[in-house]
Structure 1
Amino acid sequence: MKRNILFTKMSGAGNDFIVIDNRDGAYSFLGEAEIRQLCTRRIGIGADGLLMLEGSENHDFAMRYYNADGRLGSMCGNGGRCIAQFGWKLGDAAKKELKFEANGNTYFASVLADGEIKLNMLVPKDFRDAFSVDGHECVFVDTGSPHAILYVENLDETHVVEIGQKIRHNQEHFPGGTNVNFVQILSSEKIRVRTFERGVEDETLACGTGAVASALMSYRLGKVSAKSVCVAVQSGDLLTIAFDEEMQHVTLSGPALEVFQGEVSESFWHK
């Protein structure tokens, strides 16, 4: 039976999420159509995705991530940081280290002194150096989600949605689809990124796994030299990607903020 929903709206460097505490299973009725309705801007709450916090036997909690289209998504870095902040506030305030599971993987998160959240990411895989897609030179890496990367001279003049949409749906190179990142190198330790996200099917103000992919590939290609890369995202916020030489230990740090709390009325479902 559909019912009222208590939720928290959160922002991870501009990625916005509906976050729900479902440890008691009360909101398990939410399916693809309902989640899409909640995430639709102007007629719903509006969000890039929905995060469900659920119980776990061996971890502090489990995270289930849904894209704005209502479908289960792969890993979301900024969503992971937001649900870590959310989970921390539900638990022991003195406990600054959290362990949670998502898609069968274990993630570790830390609450930093400035309130930002640091998240340990998966080991990157499937590096692909330069190849051409629809006339654009791309590189690729999977950082928990698949990411194509294009380097540009001027991000402000780049047609992110138009180009991103074509590459995202290129079945020859990306049978399962891909996120598409456009990267401008600012210095040896700073880059700027704009991302077209699959599942949202539009540009978002930030993408955590995309920021990680862009930083790692920029280091791999010698475009930056620092192993702690500052990533400026479209919201104006900054993310920090730190990693070792072999890229086996990767962290994503940045803001994860509660925006507001609310309740969706049962009558919403009768539209």
Structure 2
Amino acid sequence: MRIPFTKMHGLGNDFIMLDGRSNSLPDLTSAVAAALANRHTGIGCDQLIVLEPSNTADFAMRIFNADGGEVEACGNASRAVALLHGAQARVETSGGIIELSPTKGGARVDMGPPRFDWDAIPLDYPMDTSAMPVSWDDLDTPAAVNVGNPHVIFFVRDSEAVPLDRLGPIIEHDPLFPERINVNVADIRDGTIHLRVWERGVGLTKACGTGACATAVAAIRQGLVASPATVRLPGGVLTIEWEAGSSIIMEGPATESYRGSFEWDDYA
């Protein structure tokens, strides 16, 4: 079976988009997702996104990381979906309902409210998620926020100096995080959050939309920045709005790279 796809990216965080809303797709396994995501023998991407019909929203969005693991949310992919869909929509994800609105060159996304309870992150045991009494090397007292998927955030003096390629996988797989964790390191310069992200199941990325949301929420909570917050990632800039008790609003660009097709049996 020949399957069409659209290749897109948000600030360099890239996706294979498969649209199964009108024509159903074959069953997608983790192995197929990982094979398609492989940059040497597949199409290549950070995340594989599958659009499907939904009974509770306009349509559903499934998200597979490059290692084939299915995850709950992806902020950058949400903007790409808005661009692909071309109209405002309510979208079902396993992390909850999100609302998308295309803008010129990108999208504005209502990501829903953040969660802070230890068992909502989730953590292995109770602790204060605003300043966790844990450390890895020089990284200590992080905040934890669930924005549809779990994030731990470290505010540091110089985010570029942190060996995130070494510490990221150690923290991601720490037993404290039973569903693994996305690792964010950030510093604040002239009111702008400068952020690097180790994404679970992917590694270092040029951008992470949910990481920008989680980090901005943690910074606003601690009084380090005001809303709307500007978050600068290696791939570009996002704007995050949030007030206590409300949803997170993310705005930023998305881009279609090219379209193509592949033979399903080559990857199944």
- The TM-score with structure 2 as length reference comes to 0.89
**Structure-2 residue corresponding to 1:217:** 218
5+ long unaligned stretches in structure 2: 118-128
Q: Determine whether 1:108 maps to 2:118.
A: no
Cα distance change of structure 1 residues 76 and 150 upon mapping to structure 2, 3 Å threshold = same
Cα contact 1:133–1:167 (8 A) shared by 2: no
* Deviation of 1:221 (Å): 1.1
* Deviation of 1:25 (Å): 4.9
Give 4+ residue runs of structure 1 displaced > 6 Å after superposition. none
- Count of residues in correspondence between the two structures: 254
**Structure-2 residue corresponding to 1:167:** 171
Cα distance change of structure 1 residues 144 and 267 upon mapping to structure 2, 3 Å threshold = closer
**Structure-1 residue corresponding to 2:206:** 205
- The TM-score with structure 1 as length reference comes to 0.88
* Deviation of 1:37 (Å): 0.3
After superposition, residues 1-271 of structure 1 pair within 5 angstroms as: 3-88=1-86, 96-103=87-94, 105-112=96-103, 114-126=104-116, 128-130=129-131, 131-135=133-137, 136-137=139-140, 138-171=142-175, 173-188=176-191, 190-200=192-202, 202-224=203-225, 226-235=226-235, 237-244=236-243, 246-266=244-264, 268-269=266-267
Identity of aligned residues (%): 35
SS in 2 for 1:184: strand
* Deviation of 1:247 (Å): 4.5
5+ long unaligned stretches in structure 1: 89-95
Partners of 2:54 and 2:11 lie apart in 1 by 27
SS in 1 for 2:220: helix
* Deviation of 1:210 (Å): 0.5
Cα distance change of structure 1 residues 209 and 247 upon mapping to structure 2, 3 Å threshold = farther
Partners of 2:67 and 2:154 lie apart in 1 by 25
**Amino acid aligned to 2:96:** N
Cα distance change of structure 1 residues 63 and 267 upon mapping to structure 2, 3 Å threshold = closer
Q: Deviations over 1:23-55 (max 9, x none)?
A: 245423321111100001121111011111111
Cα contact 1:177–1:198 (8 A) shared by 2: yes
Cα contact 2:8–2:256 (8 A) shared by 1: yes
Partners of 2:28 and 2:2 lie apart in 1 by 11
Cα distance change of structure 1 residues 27 and 182 upon mapping to structure 2, 3 Å threshold = same
Cα contact 1:22–1:28 (8 A) shared by 2: no
Cα contact 2:186–2:195 (8 A) shared by 1: yes
